[in-house]
Structure 1
């Protein structure tokens, strides 16, 4: 019996849980079955969800490929051969080094992921007690995070190396709580951003988005009290004269990327781009730069099409899961889902501000002759900072969109350089590098390293307290915001908020 269950789990893990398009499709299928939809509505919704997420992935993948000449150029032409901050490089570093450093098999990561996910489900099932309302559904992200958490906790608590059971319990509790608490922090902000679309973000920068959105909200309130208009949202700003072309996000993205990509590609030069295989010998450099830069706008449009294709199916079907299995719950999804809401220009501005922050931080490490140098990966620099930009703009406008992704970019580089060098992951060429794992998890690691099991208890207590404090701050609306958003909005309007 155990062998059969193990086989079923392996099939589910290999083909559904870690394949986000199939996992989203599975949830839509389950939700519509629980809602007792007709077979053709269920089939249609499931296919749209899978195809929509595949379109989103094609857009995301295209963005990464478009950015590759810059990353390769920084590494090869300017000899920045160093640790890459990127989720996939981080996962590869754990696979390459965990057995050599700790004598542990990487296969334990899969078991950790399963137990942590079950922990998340249990916490949400008892939401009236735990006050946790979101299920972390981004399986590929869960695998990346489980990998890095595996290394960090083994480093902080070396006594766990000899006890697989204790190791998995400690890791699953902390990681499961992190998933549930982090995505829960963004429920209100996500509902307000999307006008009650019924999802939250479950990704690599949840605490970062929550912190910067909160700061943006505070900054906007302070500015309004002083009669300032600097917190005006990007979509509410009408640019005059020739600058009105930037009111169109596709044009704005194309022009800004042409300036950003163009400058770097010109610095790399045609001989290098040909030698690296990005350009053909007879190709015109000017038109190569224009085409490469404008592809960014193309892939961003594809990504947003993918979001529109599947998000309505996911939120409608999840009602079946929340009604029947997890009352009041919402799905936690990929951060790219937020790019279909608010100002599209906030995506580009947030990305560029974060890239400047990362660039300054990397230059600082080089100037200080840091023993660990960092090469920016596209995933943190874009998906962290663009998402922070979208949420910050919704609460604090253009000023927040410029300031907070820039600060996030600094944190991503400095935090990753510190933690990866300290725990030894830098020697294997990569670290996850996204905001929570450059700031929040290094703090967790320090606490566990110096307080041992008391540190584990402290982290667990703090994570359990966070949703309780959220609930106490607004008992009347805490669950209402997911159960009846229209009523929540009506109450907020009555309060004048």
Structure 2
């Protein structure tokens, strides 16, 4: 029996390390399973796997390029001004848990992968029982699951440090699995509306934020001032017409943004830090760094277009045969292939403005926890919020809500990371849900113990029920038959 269990554990470890937490191959596997269930010929299955996997790898190249391009600014702001602060970034947050969880709680980080498995299985079960749970989406963004499982591991241990591993993992798995199922479900309708029924939802770090800001954007659009124009509907006159081209607009705005910060850092510092050689032109370094932003964004959008079609088509096999009416939850960057491309740039700029303003406030107030802006929250959170806000509320919403989100990301992260002790290890996840929603969860568990856990579970279970009651006629139709859903909404 022990040998069987050991063999099963090795299979799980191999699957987790090479497929589940590697989103390109996990998406490829989903495409294979979907096409097999649809009884497609073997060569179409192979073609679908290749296109989906390569498309996601292209997306990762674009995403990684954007992060790397921002690195001189991150390092410079910390080193040039001698700021000893934690970085709000999923990778820094994961490293903080790895470094500190054994020292603070005496627990092994290896338990995180077991937590991920329990939560993922629970997410699938909740969707399989959607007739009663009303949950329609499965969280498939593997690298994000690892980051979230790491941070949840710390937060729940902080609330229940004395519990044994079995109970800790069950409580964690229950709450995290519910969060994944409810969060991805919250983004189903707004993603279908954005993509015109592409058949997926968003599974990332700002799912509750997207739902909230999309709802507020709709309210804003129906207010006294009337509907605001969407970015894609705006045509600039005269010389401003150059901003009608996404690549031109992104390049110019990023040159102003990056150029200003790099000029403040100065050539001498960048040479000393190893980002620039003394013989190279500082002007062309700034220009290349800025233009590369547009390059990597274009690469990311190419990756999205490459794999989304395959994923949407193949998942119909899974939704028909195994999980009727279900949709996959995917990386937030996938949304950048829809709506206005300029919303991505606008969201980044206004989110950065909000974050930098909040960081300046922490410095002026002599906060015990200082924050350095991480690129992942400042770009991927706020660009995604802008894409969805623009779709529901136009230009005003696309500027306002990323700015507010930027403030919340910094203030919320400083509060929770300082309280639970993660700030001492240099990082916190820092994205919207984990700067706003999870601090509330942590406080409920810490102060109310098991009653707090019961309240969290009750709230999470209730959310999709309320969504369903708000529009029973169209709730499942939005994934089952989007064209009919649109007709119903138009008639209403």
Q: CA deviation at 1:80?
A: 1.6
The match for 2:198 is 197
Q: Distance in 2 between matches of 1:196 and 1:116?
A: 28
Residue 316 of structure 1: aligned partner: 313
Partner of 2:231: 234
SS of the equivalent of 2:222 reads helix
- The corresponding residue for 2:273 is 276
Equivalent pairs, count = 489
Residue 125 in 1 paired to residue 128 in 2? yes
In structure 2, which of residues 463, 468, 485 is the aligned counterpart of residue 466 of structure 1?
463
State the shift of 1:276 in Å. 1.1
Structure 1 residue 333: Cα displacement? 0.1
Residue number in structure 1 paired with 2:66: 63
Aligned to 2:31: 28
- Tell me, what secondary structure is at the counterpart of 1:135? strand
CA-CA distance at 1:293 after TM superposition: 0.2
Structure 2 counterpart SS, 1:332: strand
Aligned twin of 1:53: 56
Q: Which residue of 2 aligns with 1:288?
A: 285
Task: Please tell me whether residue 139 in structure 1 is matched to residue 142 in structure 2.
Answer: yes
Where does residue 372 of structure 1 map in the other structure? 369
1:84 maps to 2:87: yes
Structure 1, residues 404-452: CA drift from partner, whole Å, max 9, x if none?
0000000000000000000000000000000000000000000111100
Q: Which residue of 2 aligns with 1:149?
A: 152
2:45 is matched with 42
How far does the alpha carbon of each residue in 1:235-293 deviate from its partner, in whole angstroms, 9 at most, with x for none?
Answer: 11111111111111110000000000000111111111111111111111111111110
Name structure 2 gaps, 5 residues minimum: none
Q: Distance in 2 between matches of 1:422 and 1:96?
A: 17
**Which residue of structure 2 aligns with residue 9 of structure 1?**
12
Offset of 1:203 from its aligned partner?
A: 0.2
SS in 2 for 1:158: coil
Q: Residue 223 of structure 2 aligns to a residue in which SS?
A: helix
- Find the aligned partners of 1:84 and 1:172 in 2 and give their Cα distance: 27
Q: Quick one: distance in 2 between partners of 1:97 and 1:282?
A: 42
Residue equivalent to 1:111? 114
Matched residue SS, 2:229: coil
Paired residues for 1:138-177 under 5 Å: 138-160=141-163, 163-177=164-178
Q: Deviations over 1:20-41 (max 9, x none)?
A: 1111111111111111110000
Shift of 1:158: 2.2
Partner residue of 2:22? 19
Residue in structure 2 matched with residue 188 of structure 1 by the alignment:
189
The alignment yields a C-alpha RMSD, in angstroms, of 0.7
Residue 456 of structure 1 aligns to a residue in which SS?
helix
> Normalized against structure 1, the TM-score is what?
0.98
The match for 1:432 among 399, 417, 429 is 429
Deviation at 1:3, TM superposition (A): 2.0
Residue matched to 2:261: 264
Q: CA deviation at 1:4?
A: 2.0
Counterparts of 2:276 and 2:110, CA distance in 1: 41
Residue number among 418, 423, 438 corresponding to 2:415 in the alignment: 418
Per the TM alignment, residue 170 of structure 1 is displaced from its structure 2 partner at its CA by 0.5
Q: Secondary structure at the match of 2:213?
A: helix
**Match of residue 75 from structure 1:** 78
In structure 1, what is the Cα distance between the partners aligned to 2:282 and 2:325? Answer: 55
Aligned residue runs from structure 1 range 374-413, under 5 A:
374-413=371-410
Deviations 1:172-229 (A, max 9, x none): 0000000000010010000000000000000000001111111001000114xx4x35
Rounded Cα–Cα distance in structure 2 between residues aligned with 1:174 and 1:425: 20
In 1: Cα distance, 2:83 partner to 2:336 partner: 32
Question: Which residue of the partner structure matches residue 304 of structure 2?
Answer: 307
Alignment match, 1:363: 360
SS in 2 for 1:258: helix
Q: Secondary structure at the match of 2:280?
A: coil
Q: If the length of structure 2 is used for normalisation, what is the TM-score?
A: 0.99
Q: Which residue of 1 aligns with 2:105?
A: 102
SS in 2 for 1:415: helix
Distance 2:365 2:10 in 1: 52
Give the Cα–Cα distance (whole angstroms) in 2 for the partners of residues 300 and 150 of structure 1: 33
Structure 1, gaps ≥5 residues long:
none
For the residue of structure 1 that corresponds to 2:323, the secondary structure is coil
Match status 1:441 vs 2:444: no
CA distance in 2 between partners of 1:111 and 1:273 (Å): 42
